Structure formats: C-alpha cells, structure tokens
C-alpha cells in the first residue's frame, strides 16, 4: 500500500468544507438519536423482551449523512441500516 506524502496531502484542502457550529451540532444530534435507540434495543434483546434486532451500531453516519444532504421533497428508499434515515426524516418512533 502506498503512503501519502506531505506534498500529496496538500491536494486535500478540507478547509473549503467547513461547516458552522450550528450545522455540526444538528448533525451530532441526528447521529445521537439512532445510536441511543440502537443501544436501547440491544439491551431489550439481551433481556429477552424482543426476539430480534439487526443492529446498525457504528454505521449511523451513512444513513444520517445521506438523508441530511437531501431536500425534503427528495425520496430515499433504504433497504438496510435504515434507522438513521427514519430518525433524520423525523418519522414518529411509534410507526
């Protein structure tokens, strides 16, 4: 595997992608909600209160990030690891 040199890292100027503190906080909250739900569901699974749960812990950023980048009128049809999509779209949890 080739290592990246200092000269090559200058090509990746991430400063142009800075986001406001408000956006960062909003994304963090959107990441936190599905993670807390995941943790709670795993506790319920271990206690035998639910029969199965397909965990997506550690993969929340994919669904939350993609969904956050969409406009309200755009569709997203997840088939896998979809909890972050539902919580980011603010679908009521009872559904």
Could you state, in order of their start, the residue ranges of all structural domains in the chain? Answer: 19-88
What's the pLDDT at 38? 94
pLDDT tens-place values along the chain, 95 residues long: 555 555 555 666 666 778 889 999 999 999 999 999 999 999 999 999 999 998 889 899 999 999 999 999 999 998 888 999 999 999 998 87
Residue 3: the pLDDT is: 59
What's the pLDDT at 19?
Answer: 85
Torsion angle, CA of 84/88/91/95, rounded to 10 degrees?
Answer: 10
pLDDT for res 42: 95
Is residue 37 within 8 A of residue 87, CB to CB? The reply is yes
| Locus of tokens 């080739």 | 2
pLDDT of amino acid 1: 54
């Amino acid at each position: 595997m080739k290592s990246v040199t200092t000269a090559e890292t200058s090509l990746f100027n991430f400063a142009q992608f800075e986001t406001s503190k408000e956006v960062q906080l909003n994304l963090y909250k959107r990441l936190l909600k599905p993670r807390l739900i995941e943790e709670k569901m795993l506790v319920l699974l271990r206690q035998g209160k639910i029969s199965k749960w397909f965990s997506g812990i550690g993969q929340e950023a994919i669904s939350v990030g993609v969904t956050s980048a969409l406009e309200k009128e755009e569709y997203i049809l997840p088939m896998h690891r979809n909890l972050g999509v539902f919580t980011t779209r603010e679908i009521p949890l009872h559904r």
